[in-house]
A and B are shown apart, each in its own frame.
Chain A
Amino acid sequence: MKLFLSVIFSVFFLSQLNAQKIYATRNGKVSFEAPSDEDVKAVNNEVTSRMADNGQVTFSLLIKGFRFKLAEMQEHFNDQYLESTKFPRADFKGNIVNLNEVNFSKDGTYKISVKGDLTMHGVTKNVTVTGTLEIKEGKPSANAKFTILMKDYNVSAGSVTDKVMAELSCQYQ
């Protein structure tokens, strides 16, 4: 009986362990533009992201992967503002704050709030971003819009802009 119970228990326990699901993409999209100058606009289509149904979320992207319409601007962005040879990557690691309002196994659109650490240009800041999580046929996609202030990350692009509006879109597998 004891053995039987422990078998039942371990099966139950293992199935709980297996229950955690991780969704991933290597080609999410992040774009940004400066509100003051329509030429300051760039897109990165190689955002690696993972999202687990326990609420953990990570995003990583490479600064050199941002493509601008103007080649000259892309050069300035990399060499002078973001110093992408010294700081090639931007990383975010955080959690869905309102996980209890999200059901990964039920199709629908959920408003989510994600809180975590964003590191870029050698500076780490704790940020909270709100967005939507859509579950369709069991697969999530995340969308969010947020503002990044240049001074928060010691980026001296003052002559061009003091902030950018960023947009994120990830479709997970």
Chain B
Amino acid sequence: MKNWIKVVLIIIVVCILTGGVVAYRIYTKPHRDVSQEKGVSLTAQKLCDAFRANEGEANKLYLDKAIEMTGEVAEVTTNQDGNTVVNCKTNDPLFVINCTFKTNPGQLKAGQIITFKGICTGYIPDANVVINEGVLVK
């Protein structure tokens, strides 16, 4: 076999392998695991106040960040896909921190103080701050 054919074949094989590895990496890249991250520690009230005072600034501080939040449980529900949702109280009865748990936090009751980690996805005016991917700390 001529040398240049060998070279071309090797190049083609290398390209296919690289392509395969890249595709494999993309398909198997793990989702973010918030339990492995160090979260910003704060209370439900502080998170609420920050967004209500200035949404833009609060987004810079908290949006897409790992949050370790402590708050009082107002209500526990289940979403349409079976995940536990905990609404945490603020000083406004109509405004809550809405937290969807990734792992089952077990039995929680209204009035209980909990600390959990999650990712803050943002603020919905007059309604709630949303945290998802929640994992109970204590």
- A interface residue numbers (CB < 8 A to B): 26-27, 29, 43, 45-46, 48, 60-65, 67, 70-72, 74, 85, 88-89, 169, 171
B79 engages A71 (CB within 8 Å): no
B130 interfacial by beta-carbon distance below 8 Å: yes
A27 engages B29 (CB within 8 Å): no
A70 engages B124 (CB within 8 Å): no
B128 engages A26 (CB within 8 Å): yes
Bound complex: CA of A85 vs CA of B64, how far in Å? 8
Per-residue interface assignment for chain B, residues 45 to 72, with 1 indicating a CB less than 8 Å from any chain A CB and 0 otherwise: 0000000000000010001100000000
User: B26: which A residues are within 8 A, CB to CB?
Assistant: 70, 72
B81 interfacial by beta-carbon distance below 8 Å: yes
Chain B, interface size category, equals 20 to 34
Bound complex: CA of A43 vs CA of B80, how far in Å? 11
Residue of chain A at shortest CB distance from B120: A64
Which of B63, B100, B124 is close to A45, meaning CB atoms less than 8 Å apart? Answer: B100
B83 interfacial by beta-carbon distance below 8 Å: yes
Q: Nearest Cβ distance between residue B42 and chain A, in whole angstroms?
A: 18
B31 engages A29 (CB within 8 Å): no
Bound complex: CA of A64 vs CA of B127, how far in Å? 17
Which of B32, B125, B132 is close to A65, meaning CB atoms less than 8 Å apart? Answer: B132
Which of B27, B79, B119 is close to A29, meaning CB atoms less than 8 Å apart? Answer: B79
B residues 79-138 near A (Cβ < 8 Å) are 79-81, 83, 85, 87, 96, 98, 100, 119, 121-125, 127-128, 130, 132
Residue of chain B at shortest CB distance from A60: B124
User: Is the contact region of chain A dominated by helix, strand, or loop, or is it mixed?
Assistant: strand
- B interface residue numbers (CB < 8 A to A): 26-27, 29-32, 59, 63-64, 77, 79-81, 83, 85, 87, 96, 98, 100, 119, 121-125, 127-128, 130, 132
A26 engages B98 (CB within 8 Å): yes
Bound complex: CA of A89 vs CA of B63, how far in Å? 11
Q: Nearest Cβ distance between residue B13 and chain A, in whole angstroms?
A: 25
User: B77: which A residues are within 8 A, CB to CB?
Assistant: 27
User: A72: which B residues are within 8 A, CB to CB?
Assistant: 26-27, 29
22 contacts between A and B (CB under 8 A): A26-B96, A26-B128, A29-B80, A29-B81, A43-B81, A46-B130, A48-B124, A48-B128, A60-B124, A64-B121, A64-B122, A65-B121, A65-B122, A67-B132, A70-B27, A71-B32, A72-B26, A74-B31, A85-B59, A88-B121, A89-B123, A169-B80
Q: Nearest Cβ distance between residue B117 and chain A, in whole angstroms?
A: 16
Q: Nearest Cβ distance between residue B48 and chain A, in whole angstroms?
A: 14
Q: Name the 5 nearest CB pairs between A and B, nearest first.
A: A62-B122, A64-B121, A62-B121, A65-B121, A88-B122
Bound complex: CA of A74 vs CA of B30, how far in Å? 11
User: A70: which B residues are within 8 A, CB to CB?
Assistant: 26-27, 29
A45 engages B80 (CB within 8 Å): yes
